[in-house]
Structure 1
Amino acid sequence: MGLNEDLGRRLRALRQEQDLSLSELSRRSRVGKGTLSELESGLRNPTLETLYALTTALGCPLSAVLSDPAPESGSGAELPGVSGSAVTALLLERHEDAAAVTDVFRVTIRAGATQESAAHVPGTGESLMVLAGTAVVGPPHDARAVGPGASAHWPADVPHIYRAPDGDVQGILFVRYPSALRDGEDSGP
């Protein structure tokens, strides 16, 4: 099964578990019904922004629709990830315990680009450890520059940005969702 088909199958299963129609998930996520249908059918490549809109509307972590974490690759080949307007993310790990679900991503923020991320479900937080380059991250009114070897943490249940003003940024992103999401809690409209 291809990556898009696997993602579509997972997305459809989550929607059906919550007894939501395509129309209702489209309304809650503000993703077009046609786009949603094509995603569930594996016919469309999703953007990072679209996947976050859908998983937020479903009240689940992004990793719930992504394939299992990437295997170790000794070949040096570029592993597939999901891309947004500025960020490409590759799921490395999903850790789940009684307190939270934590997704760990290897990210690249493209030089000169800015990604505006919508608020995730209440209680979600993000941390970025920068490996190379300088990133500007966090809520737009409180964004901070973070260089190699440093990290930043911000609430992700408010709109936030990722920017690479001077060149590509390489980093490790941790997204921590509250434990209530594990049970598919309804995130509301």
Structure 2
Amino acid sequence: MGVRVRKDVSGRAAQPGPREVVAAALRRERTRAALSLSELAARAGIAKSTLSQLESGGGNPSIETLWALCVALDIPFSRLLDPPRPSVHVIRAGEGQVVSAAVSHYQVALLAAGLPSSRRDIFRVTAEPGQPHRSQPHMAGVVEHVMLAEGRAMAGLAAEPVELRPGDYVQYPGDLPHVFEALAPGTWAILVNEYT
């Protein structure tokens, strides 16, 4: 999963590990939705064996696989990655649970999950030039906000992305196909997913 260890304020490694967090969350959310392994795998368009492996703490899920599961379960992405944490939460640059895309040089690290009343998640995105990261539509009503911190990128709806430079911001419907393409090495941005 290309995972880096998240640390708490005291510098101690946070427990449990990212694979265990994803495994427990998948089991919890599948049970909550009253779906069998076969039903959830079919809804997400993944193999039943892949889902079984993820629920047992194995495998190396890509962003695309986790998003497909979130759409099938109708849950925010953060619900699979965000374990309970203390009231003060610090993630240093370069730390956090990182999930990589299957094809492009694109990674996200969940920085903050929305509270049940706020319904938003905040991510740090890192990307390199090459293959653009193309995202399938998320749940209905999702709005994405991207603010570019460094580099250059094309971002937004797949049919009409816009070029961003450091400090630029774009908002677009996340429930339509969208894209993020780094145009310069070392490109990174803050991504906020807002759920209705």
TM > 0.5 between the two?
yes
Deviations 1:75-115 (A, max 9, x none): x65433111133211111122354x5100011101222311
AA at the equivalent of 1:146: L
Q: Distance in 1 between matches of 2:114 and 2:176?
A: 23
Contact 2:18-2:97 within 8 A present in 1 as well: no
Tell me the residue number matched to 1:55: 70
Task: Pick one of 125, 133, 140 that aligns with 1:107.
Answer: 125
Aligned length: 176
1:33 to 2:48 alignment:
yes
Q: Secondary structure in 1 aligned to 2:40?
A: helix
Tell me the residue number matched to 2:147: 129
Q: Select between 100-109 and 50-59 the one with higher mean Cα deviation.
A: 100-109
Task: Pick one of 92, 95, 103 that aligns with 2:111.
Answer: 92
> Taking structure 1 as reference, are residues 77 and 142 closer, same or farther at Cα in structure 2, changes over 3 Å only?
closer
Q: CA RMSD in A?
A: 1.8
> Taking structure 1 as reference, are residues 175 and 69 closer, same or farther at Cα in structure 2, changes over 3 Å only?
farther
AA at the equivalent of 1:137: A
1:168 to 2:183 alignment:
no
Task: Pick one of 25, 29, 33 that aligns with 1:18.
Answer: 33
Q: Shift of residue 11 of structure 1?
A: 0.8
1:150 to 2:143 alignment:
no
Tell me the residue number matched to 1:80: 97
Which stretches of structure 1, 4 residues or longer, exceed 4 Å deviation after superposition? Answer: none
Q: Distance in 2 between matches of 1:123 and 1:69?
A: 26
Which structure has more relative contact order (CA 8 Å, sep 6+)? It is 1
> Taking structure 1 as reference, are residues 118 and 12 closer, same or farther at Cα in structure 2, changes over 3 Å only?
same
> Taking structure 1 as reference, are residues 65 and 22 closer, same or farther at Cα in structure 2, changes over 3 Å only?
same
Ranges in structure 2 where 5+ consecutive residues have no aligned partner: 1-15
Task: Pick one of 145, 152, 157 that aligns with 1:139.
Answer: 157
Ranges in structure 1 where 5+ consecutive residues have no aligned partner: 179-189
Tell me the residue number matched to 2:13: none
AA at the equivalent of 1:45: N
| Percent identity (aligned) | 36
AA at the equivalent of 1:61: P
